Structures are given as C-alpha cells and as structure tokens.
Amino acid sequence: MGERDSHMQTAAPAAHARAEAAQTVAEVRLTPILIADPPLLNTHGVHQPHTPRLIIEVVTAGGTTGVGETYGDTRYLELAAPLAAALPGHRLTDLNGLSALAARVCAPPAQTSASVAAGGLRGVQTADKLRLSVVSGFEVALLDALGKSLGLPVHALLGGKVRDRVDYSAYLFYRLAEHPQGQGEPDAWGAALDPDGVVAQARRFADTYGFGSFKLKGGVFPPEEEVAAIRALAAAFPGRPLRLDPNGAWSVETSLKVARDLADVLEYLEDPVGGTGGMAEVAAATGVPLATNMCVTTFPEIAEAFTRGAVQVVLSDHHYWGGLRATQHLAAVCRTFGVGLSMHSNTHLGISLAAMTHVAATVPNLDYACDTHYPWQTEDVITRRHTFHDGALAVSDLPGLGVELDREALAALHQRWLDDDGTMRDRDDAAAMRKADPDWQTPAVPRW
Ligand code: GKR
Ligand code: MG
C-alpha cells in the first residue's frame, strides 16, 4: 500500500468522526411562550386571548441551531424538560434513538393516567400521545439542524419532495368580535355568528390567501344553523370543497341527518360523532366520507377504525402522531387501506407550518388540502412569515426548515408567559367561555 493510500484510509474515518462530532447535540433550549389567539368558538367554549406553545432549540457541537415547535401546556413542558436534559451527546441522525430516549426519560405527567384520560378536541390524551407530541417537536429541531449542517432541506432528509406546493384550506370559525370582558386585543375580523358572517369570513380568506376549499368548525350552534351556514358557503362558492367539523358534538342520528342535508356539497364530514363505534354507524349509513382527528390519532387506534370502515379520511398531525417520519408511516398505512389523508391543525406558528409543509411535500397520497390555523395567528417567532399564494405554500428548498428564529419576538412572547398569572399557560376554552357566561361547562356529548 502506498503512503498516499494509507493516509486516505486514516483520514476518511477521522473526517467522518469530526463530522459526526459536529452533528452531535451540545445544548438544548426550551422556551415556553404565549401567543395571541382570537376569540374562536368551538363546542368546548372559546379560545383564550393567549395560548401556549413551546419552542425547542437544539445547538450542535458544530454550532448549528435547529428549531422545533409543539404544544406548550404544562403537561408538555413537564415531559420536554427531562428529554432536553438527556439529549446532549445525541447524534442528529439518531431519530429512532430519540423516541427510545423519550420513552426512558419522560415519566407520564402527574395529571394524566398512563392509559386514557378525558377526551378533548384532539381525541383521547394518553401518556404515550403526550410524549409523542413532545418527541415530534424535538425531531423537527434535529432535522432542521441536520438539514442546515448538510445544506439540505428537511424534505430531502425525508426522502424528497413529490410536489413543489402544498395546498391549504381556509379554516373558518364562528367567532366573537372580542374576547369576553374586553381581554386581549380586538382584531379587524369582527364577529361571525351566522351564515352571513361565515360567508364574509370565507370571502376574506379567499381574497387574502386564495384558499379554494373551506372548513367550518362546528358544534357551536344547533346543527340546523350550521347546515344553513354550509349551504350559504355552497351558494357563495359553487363547486368548492366544503367540510364541517363539530368535534364529535352530535349523536349518530343528528350526524346522519346533517349528512343527508349536505350530501351534495360536503367534501367530507369531520368527527360528527365521538368514538369509533359511532363513526362506524354513521359511515355505514351515509355516502358522505367521514374524516377524523379525534378517533384515529395514534397507531393503535387504526386497526379497529379501518377494519370497521369508520373513517374514510385521517387528518394527520405530526405533533401528536410523533413527528414527520411517523406522519409518513401513517400515510403508508392509509395508502395500504385505501383511506384518504389530510392534515389537521391546531393553533401553531411558522416553525410548525414549515414542518407540516415539508412532510406534506413528501407524501404522495396527500389527497386533500391541509388545515391550518396560521392566518389566525398574528404573532410569530420566525423572521419571515409564510405567505399563501392561491391557497398554497411553496415548498422551501433552503437548508433545514428554511425558517429563521426571530429572537426578539421569542423573548417578548416568553416574557408574556413569565408574566402570566397561570390562567393561560394551559389551554382552557371552557374557562374562557365562563368570562361571558359564568355558568358555562364543557357540554356533555352528544350535545345535539
Ligand atoms: O382550535 O378550536 C380549535 C379546534 O377545535 C382545534 O382545537 C381542533 O383540535 O382544529 C382541531 C380540529 O380539527 O378538531
Ligand atoms: Mg377536527
């Protein structure tokens, strides 16, 4: 062996070791924040003026910072802290190891039983699901850092994009003009409490962002009023895909009546009734496709729902499914069973929207425009907000997620979290509603 060959043999592993060391996590920063949220109504109540999010930063030994975002309520922070403490020394590429590490270090939060706690707007909250929601924020931060250190966009790390644009849908809400008792800042949207208000809101969404499909958050008013609102949308936007989502507030009978009334205009009906059994009953008796982000929210829930034909569309959400790769796995299962795929959204900022867009770009069977709350969020922690054109976002080819943290904005929103007296650090739509109606309780289901 010549001198040059032997040098190459020792240099290559050395270069690899150096690259690997540079791609190792050196520090993790967790920043809980409170962001402004408008008075949007749902079947539980109304959004509070501020809502929590958690921003995760991982800094590598090579000095690269990756960012992630997830839910910021106390029970998520309690899980994120031990994972952040255990992460230094972890390789960015070891995403499988991240899940294993989280399973080891994240004890179930005190207020959630290891099995199943009360249902919410996003289905049951198991300890596993809470942990996965935290893991997903870290996975996104690791992928962002890895992409930045390699000069590759996150979609390339996920196998490559199959589309250059991702379509989003207008997320319409019944809403108040202002938060009860004058809390928070009023905005320019005004109230939307009837079909005219809903159509005016939809028009503004269509004119400003170009959205071509519309979802109305229902379960707020008696079903016949919500049917009238969907009818008004159908008349104002003929032929456009329409969806209605009462978050499981209806009985099987009511769900079937709404399905009959709106069969000619609905793209799908989302979680009309709570639980796989009820969804299966409704699905068996209507041709309107049923979508869910409530009864199929984890892998163990898939088998029963799919074999019973309870859902025709799953709304994936990388936060609670456990990350971007888990979303791809879910997509593969849906493809296998001929079940459609769309994307759910909860109040989120630009980091999560970037993550959603990257993974959505890699999924061949993304059959529907994705939900997003983003237009309702006027604050952000990234320097350049995302802009929708013709209802879609262009898929970024910049390294990582393609977003840059706005440190000043992050610090200000964190200060708001520090200053909060504890009332908004945990989302509580029923408590917010009690400011307007002191007797309000989260309604029992079925509500209608
Ligand atoms: O933000 O009020 C809301 C929504 O109801 C949200 O919490 C749901 O999780 O958007 C979600 C949904 O589609 O059910
Ligand atoms: Mg939903």
pLDDT of residue 115: 41
182-231 pLDDT per residue, tens = 888 889 999 999 999 999 999 999 999 999 999 999 999 999 999 999 99
Pick the more confident residue, 125 or 250: 250
Q: Is 311 helix (H, G, I), strand (E, B) or coil?
A: coil
Give the span between the Cα atoms of 348 and 246, in whole angstroms: 20
CA–centroid distance, residue 438 to ligand 1 (Å): 23
Q: Which amino acid is at 334?
A: C
- Cβ atoms of residues 217 and 42 within 8 Å: yes
User: Residue 378: helix, strand or coil by DSSP?
Assistant: coil
Closest CA to ligand 1's atom 1: 346
How much is the pLDDT for 118? 43
Which atom, in ligand 1's list, is nearest to the CA of 247?
A: 14
pLDDT for position 11: 63
Q: Closest residue (by CA) to atom 11 of ligand 1?
A: 346
What is the DSSP code (8-state) at residue 299? G
Q: Read out DSSP for 59-78?
A: EETTS-EEEEEEE-SHHHHH
CB atoms within 10 A of CB 113: 13
3-class state of residue 5 by DSSP = helix
Residues 231, 379: Cα–Cα separation, whole Å: 33
- Exposed/middle/buried for 309, CB within 10 Å: 0-12, 13-18, 19+? middle
Look up the pTM and report it. Answer: 0.95
Ligand 1 neighbours, Cβ below 6 Å, are 40, 42, 121-122, 217, 245, 247, 293, 344-347
Would you please indicate which residues are annotated as catalytic (active-site) residues?
A: 217, 344
For the chain, the average pLDDT equals 94
**Would you state the pLDDT for residue 23?**
92
**Residue given tokens 């999010």 in the structure block:** 53
Distance of CA 206 from the midpoint of ligand 2 (Å): 21
Q: How confident is the model at residue 112 (pLDDT cuts 50, 70, 90)?
A: low
Closest atom of ligand 1 to 217 CA is 5
Secondary structure letter of residue 242 according to DSSP: E
Dihedral in degrees, nearest 10, Cα atoms 329, 332, 337, 338: 130
Q: Phi first, then psi: what are they for 163, rounded to 5°?
A: -150, 155
Query: Over the stretch 291-349, which tens digit does the pLDDT of each residue have?
Result: 999 999 999 999 999 999 999 999 999 999 999 999 999 999 999 999 999 999 999 99
- Atom of ligand 1 at shortest range from CA of 171: 10
Given a cut of 60, is residue 145 above it in pLDDT?
A: yes
- Ligand 1, pocket-test mutation among 44, 50, 122, most atoms within 8 A of CB: 122
Ligand 2 centroid–CA 245 distance in Å is 6
A 10 A CB-CB count for 225 gives 15
Phi, psi at 402, each rounded to 5°:
85, 20
DSSP string, 403-426: --B-HHHHHHHHHHHHHS-SSSSS
Q: What is the 121 CA–ligand 1 centroid distance (Å)?
A: 6
Query: Which residues in 325-350 are b (16+ Cβ under 10 Å) and which e?
Result: bbbbebbebbeeeebbbbbbbbbbbb
Average confidence (pLDDT) over 94-123: 76
Lookup result for tokens 């009690």? 434
What is the pLDDT, as a whole number, of residue 116?
37
Among the bound ligands, name the one nearest to the CA of residue 119: 1
Cα 181 from chain centre = 29
